[in-house]
Every structure is written in structure tokens, then in C-alpha cells.
Chain A
Amino acid sequence: MFMRTTSGPRRVDVVYRRIDDDFIDPLSFDAHSMLGVPGLLSVVRNGRVSLANAIGTGVADDKAIYCFIPDMIEFYLGEKPILKNVPTFRCALPDDRAYVVDHLEELVVKEVGGSGGYGMLVGPMSTAEQRNDFRHKLLADPDNFIAQPTLNLSTVPTLIDGQIVPRHVDLRPYVLTGETTQVVPGGLTRVALRDGSLVVNSSQGGGTKDTWVLEA
């Protein structure tokens, strides 16, 4: 596999890929894809290029996996987790499911394969009708959902239409793990620009804030 550079074709050894399997090779998967690299799969098959992440991966994208993280830490490292998980209900389990259905107005319910703030219910912000709709969806396919208590996100003063008003934010730290583990002095602060909203995803109109690290 080669990339086209100003000094001619240059061999590529590793591809860091972020697009879905369906789109990475129009010759092998979705023929209508405008993304990806035609013929990539045959190069991978011949061992001529490495993909990170490999085709078919994505298990960590499943939100239900989150419940097993403490167990994984114990299994692989023989240690107790330092940071506690947010309590998470797997709607696949009858007891969890019953609790979630009874407490929809307190919980955030998400599809396990969802992202970008789509396909979720924020209980405290929802109407009775939205909860009712969501209850039906959940009961029709319970394996597809998890639920967590609604977290109280911090707010920061934000300039909206010339006025300074509070808006919810969250922080994504960046942690690099190799021989050592480092928390990068910086991070991504995301802000929900709609009044009261807890959805900070940029795909839903969320913005970003400068992140100040006072001491590192």
C-alpha cells in the first residue's frame, strides 16, 4: 500500500483507521463508499499492511462492556480499580431492567452501540411521553440498552447571544499508556450550548472550551 506524496509514491506500513468496516474498502464492503481505500482488504490479507484498529474490532465501542472494566482490571492486573465506575445497569439483566423501567425519570439510558449523543434518553429532562416511547423501545430490545444515574455536570459561564449564562461541561483527559502511564497536561473540555442540556457532543451542536491546567 502506498500514499501519493509530492516526491512520488511512498510505502505505508500501518494505517490508523477510524472509519467503520462498511466504509473502509469499497471493493470488499459497501461499494458506494466514498471513504476508505479501494483494495485495502486484499493488501491486509497478504500481510502487506497493518490496520489499527483491525477489521471486525469494535467490542470496546459497545457500552455494555463498560460494566466489565473493573473485572478486566482485576483479571489482567490483579489490582483493584483506583477510579470507580459510574454505576451502570445492563438492561439485558432482568433485575437491572426492572429497576431501569421503574426509574426512567432519574436515569440516562443509552443504546450500547450509540454515539454522538444520539438514541439516548436523559430522564430528568424528558417528558412523560418521551419516557413512554423509550420504555417501549427498551422492552422490545433490552440487550441493546444500558442505563446510568444522571450525573450533575459542572457548569461554566458561557457567552450566548451576548449574555453570560451557565452551560454544562465535561472534561476528557488524555492518558497515554505505554511503558509508563501519563496524563497529558491538557484535555478536551466540551460544552453543551443549549440551555439545560447535558449533551456535550459536537455532533449535537456542542462546543469546546479552553482547558486550563494550573499545575502538572
Chain B
Amino acid sequence: MLGRTANNVYWMARYVERAENLARLLASTYHMSLLPAASGNDARQWEAPLQLAGDRGDFVSRFGEVTPGSVLAYMALDGDNLSSIRCCIRLARENARATRPELTTEVWEGINQSYLELEAMSYPKLVDQGFREFFEWVKERSHLFRGAIYGTMRRGDAFTFSRLGTFIERADNTARFLAIKWDMLSPGGRPMAAEDYYRWGALLRAFSAFKAYREVYSGIIEPRRVAELLVLRRDMPRSLFACTAEVNDILRHLRENAACTRLSGQINERLQRNRIDGILRSGLPRFLNGFIARNNELHGMIGQEFMLVL
């Protein structure tokens, strides 16, 4: 396959995954904002999406104050914010369009339909439809996209590189999301209050991990276990361990001895060796930022190895 084409399907999958995770973060923030303000960090909550995927300077110059409505408008639909859900879907569709012959009709129609429906969406319509419903819609479109890829694509290069994009992006997003939320949610020295339970529950739900937490740990929600679930558990599909294991499997299948395959093996191995208490002792955000940097380095090496991106 042409390196350029591989690059297109890889980014197509990355942008869809990014849109989904952004929807998850916004839905979770919105959900938490409906809880009574407890530890005075409610205004800060809406900073999180801007930190994750926005340009704060650009936001402030065009939207002014950080309010729930303005952040939602900026992150969901703003056409000039390249990280917005709208732009992610546009870019995903543009990458898909450039490599249309490599995709099945189901995959292309699905992504094109998402694009067309999103282009017809405006902020008043979004308010009318309801934020929760909108974010659910974004998630569903992403599920449909991955399902169509998994269920209809020949197991060739296009399939492989789109899966690679999905898991590189998901690993990045899970780490960023968790790094931002961790400090915001951590109770510090004070005892866990009732609101904390809901906040951590909302965080788990953002990763579709609430039920899994109940199954694995039962009992009350402890930050330490939340971190373990989302960083180290191999059976959690959005955990860093699971994403890096997928990436490593794909790369080993593609090219066993490449430098990028070695790096992905090391990244995965480090997660395998670590225990959550050790990670928490030196600070989870610090650990996650290190992970994000290495994951990004891996992305660059994949580009050099397979896509010959100059």
C-alpha cells in the first residue's frame, strides 16, 4: 500500500477516536456540572476540555469567559477550533475521502453520514436536542465506524493501519483525560464525601468503566483502583495497557524487528511491570505525561517506518 494511503486511513481512525473521546470528556464534564458544587472546583471543570484539546488563547479571544455553554459550543461545533468534534469528523471524512477505494461502502457511508449530519448541526439545534443526546450520538457514530471496519474490511493494510490509528489515539486520549481529571478530582487530605463518589463514578462512566469497576472491585469507589483499572488492567478496552497491547500486536504482525515495534514493546512492558502504588507514589499525572510523550514518539516512528512521511 502507498505510504500516503496508510497515513490517510491511520488518521481517519485517529480523528474518529478523538471525536469520540472528546464527546466522552464533554459528556462527563456536563454530567458532573449538574452535581451540587462541593469543593469549589466547578468553574475549573470546564477548563479541562480546553486543556485537553483546545487553544485557550483562541477560545478567550473569541468566546470570552469560560462558561459551560461557551466551552460546549467551542469544543463541539466550532469550525475554527481544529480540535472540536466538528473538525475531527471533517478531517476524518477528508482522510476517508482521499482513500475512498480502500474502504468498504459501509465504512465510507457511515463516516460520510456522520459528517453530513454534523454539518447540519448548529448550536441552537444542539441545545434543543440536548447535550447528552448529542454526545451519545457522537459515540454511536464512532461505534458504528469501528464496527463497520471490523465487520466488513478485508484484513489487509487498510484494516491494519486504521486499527493502529484507533489504539494509538485512544491510548493518548485516555492518558490525557485521566491526567487532567486526576488532580481535579483528588480529594487531597480531606475524607471522601458523597459528591466525590458521584464525581469518580462520572469519570468511570466516561470510560464506560463503571460497571466493570463494580464487577472487578465491588465496594466503594477508590481513586487508587480507578487509576489501576484505567492504566494497568489488561481486560479494560480503554486502559493504557489494553491499547498498548493492541498496538504492539499490530506492529509485531506488521514488522517484527522494526524500531517502532521495539518501542511499542517497551511501552507495553513498562505497564506490565508497574504496580499502581508505585505509580501513585511518584505521581500519576507525571507518569501519564511520560506515557503521552513516549506514545507520541511511537507515533512518529510509525510514520517513518511505514508512511515515509517526510
Contact = CB atoms under 8 A, between A and B. Distances in A.
A33 B30 CA distance: 48
A4 B306 CA distance: 9
A4 B1 CA distance: 9
Interface residues of B, number: 11
Point out which of A3, A5, A6, A9 has the most chain B C-beta atoms below 10 A from its C-beta: A6
Contacts, number: 19
Interface of B: 1-4, 6, 157, 161, 254, 306-308
A9 B307 CA distance: 10
Contacts of B307: 4, 6
A163 to B, nearest CB: 22
Contact of B306 (A3, A6, A9): A6
B171 to A, nearest CB: 21
Contacts of A6: 1-3, 6, 157, 161, 254, 306-307
Interface string A1-38: 00111100100000000000000000000000000000
Contacts of B254: 6
A4 B2 CA distance: 6
A5 B2 CA distance: 4
A44 B258 CA distance: 34
Nearest to B160: A6
Closest 5 A/B residue pairs (Cβ): A4-B308, A4-B3, A6-B306, A6-B6, A6-B1
Contacts of A5: 1-3
A9 B308 CA distance: 9
A9 B305 CA distance: 11
Given A3-B2, A5-B2, A9-B308, 4 more contacts: A4-B2, A4-B307, A6-B2, A6-B307
Nearest to A8: B308
19 contacts: A3-B2, A4-B2, A4-B3, A4-B4, A4-B307, A4-B308, A5-B1, A5-B2, A5-B3, A6-B1, A6-B2, A6-B3, A6-B6, A6-B157, A6-B161, A6-B254, A6-B306, A6-B307, A9-B308
Contacts of B1: 5-6
A209 B278 CA distance: 65
A34 to B, nearest CB: 14
A4 to B, nearest CB: 4
B45 to A, nearest CB: 42
